Structure 1
Amino acid sequence: MRSYREPSVGPRLLLALVLGVVLGIVVTASATGGTGRAISSLAVLSTPTPTPVPSDPFWVVRAKKPAAPTGPRHIGIQAGHWQTDTVPEELANLRVLGGAVWSNITEQDYVLGIAQKVVAKLQAKGYVVDLLPTTIPAGYVADAFVAIHADGDETGTARGFKIAHGDRRTPYDEALLQVLAEEYWKSTDLPVDPNLTPGMLEYYAWRWERFQTTVSPYTPAVIIETGFISSAADRAVLFLHPDKVVDGIVNGVERFLREVPRDAVFRDDLVFPRATPAPSTP
């Protein structure tokens, strides 16, 4: 009678066991034949944990990037001082600012008529256009934004148009300013007034770090004072040839959209030095 002994593990099985350890294969020996059987395939390798991106240093501010508009190019046209009486509490100081006046014509009435015609012309060309009052949707996003105003001067001697944008915003503000100024001048032949005011440079719509009712810093945006309604020379264009005013704005916006693709505007993050706190007044 032969004595019983465990079946020996042959060289092939030893090799299989070694490979199983290396490759992550579980191998079992048959109780009778001493052969191996793989009961699982290659082990799934875990995905390496991505290296976290270091946070920005405390002295910079990264503006939150919105989703870019989709579909046809999107434009915001604001009629200055329109519905100022309905602004939210954060802009309550604006409620007393009625704008320029000449005779029985107010800036609000004049620029609303111009803004409506600008919107109609741009819509007829296939653009998506919003006619906006003083209250702007929070973080308003568009391919371009133009706030339309008119100027006034108590002496009646000042004249001309001027355009401005804010700081701590997209660099494409300047591109919009340049082409709009060129096209507006070509259409109206009005002179340029170099006297930019704090009200233009610090327009509430630019101040996204202080107020909710503002244009996104990624939206190219400018304010245009179309001319002085207190100037007889300017009124000869503003009132007698409003189509020239409308065409100047429409041509400027269209040229900007032709020259600046949407992908370029919304591609890069906007990072600014941290601003010194200032009073939150519009």
Structure 2
Amino acid sequence: MTADGNQATATDFRPRRSVLYMPGANERALEKAKGLPADALILDLEDAVAPAAKEAARERVCALAAEGAYGHREVIIRVNGRDTSWHADDLRAAAKAGPDAVLVPKVSSADEVHAIEADLVAAGAPERTKIWAMVETPIAMLRALEIAAASPRLAVLVMGTNDLANELRAEHVPGRAPLLPGLGLCLLAARAAGKAIIDGVYNDVRNAEGFAAECQQGRELGFDGKTLIHPGQVEPCNEAFSPSDKQLTEATEIVRAFEEAVAEGRGVVTVNGRMIENLHVDNARRLLAVDAAIAELAAAR
């Protein structure tokens, strides 16, 4: 269901199962991305680009975003941080290019969100260009709700788990126990503010089993998808964050049983011996709408 109580539809959801970072200085990789089944692409001007290549990467990335080179995939430009000499030029160029969103690293307060929004407006960014905020520091974890609720233009929180682990002096371990408090705080904030939230990257691209386990953990926790650093991670990530056939079958049964009960004036609904409440119906409709949106995106590629 939507916030106003209406039944959700496919257009209410934008799949963000797989969100792949693409280095803005790598022309070959940027070209290859046009054929990848990622739901969203982050064209990166920050970590993946050496200082000497920043300006050329900015020009290349913004040109690709402006021309709609990636079809129906969501396109996000990650600018350099507000504490760098490249930030202002990155933001102005991104605003002019008009991507789906601008991703800003190390956002730590509502004031920073307001400043980013003001800069985008001043630079003439179209209304469709949203703000994605990377939350990757201890102070950002503690201010997650403040950040998430700062502006309607802020659409997505992105977990920066590598930087968070570094600042916590934590180890990268299976199960991510050191990071779970921060992940939980940000998930709570995103859901309270009605925003999407994307899990952090998995570093060992050769460890398919470990990656699958972390995708499963992220989905179970409630993340909408995961940021990725290698094209080989895209398809398993899409599978992990898509509703399963079993879930979709059950969701269809729940919605059908509920609608039949309403039509017959019955107040009690059971499916496979289980009592069904409104929250189960809402979740079933959400899963079906997500599946429809995924099918819509796949058909548009």
TM-score between both structures, scaled by the size of structure 2: 0.25
Greater RCO (Cα-Cα under 8 Å, separation 6 or more): 1
- Relative to its length, the structure with more helix (as a share) is 2
**Greater Rg by CA:** 1
TM-score between both structures, scaled by the size of structure 1: 0.26
